[in-house]
Amino acid sequence: MPEPSATEAMAAPTSLTNAQSRFKFLPQFNRKDEPIRISGTPERQKMGMFKEMAQALVGNNGSGHLGQELEELKKLGESSPDFWQDRERLLLLVNSYDQARWVTDEIRQCW
């Protein structure tokens, strides 16, 4: 779980842009139902952990959190177009270009 200050920061938007955005903490679990942890993992194992995280986010045929979030954004765009139209995109944060490439490649392969 994130530190309380991180959770509070996500819950308290401070600008109009943030007020119109939604932030979520979505822990992912591996096939053994254990939390996927990347922080503190040795470098040589990180690529596999990021791929596992991407697979968990995609789920089966896009049924995971990423697909659910995109579907929710689509519905919001239909019900509140002034705020949500053309907002069907997600931002995943990683720490390096290599990690971004690993996650992108895995999402494309799984979806």
Q: How many CB atoms lie within 10 A of CB 76?
A: 16
57 backbone dihedrals φ, ψ, rounded to 5°: -65, -35
Q: Among the listed ranges 5-14, 36-45, 75-84, 93-102, which one has the minimum average pLDDT value?
A: 5-14
Contact present, 23 and 2 (Cβ < 8 Å): no
Statement: residue 10 has pLDDT above 60 = no
What are the Cα distances from residue 39, in Å, to 35, 52, 83, 95? Answer: 12, 14, 35, 11
* 65 contacts 41 by C-beta, under 8 angstroms: no
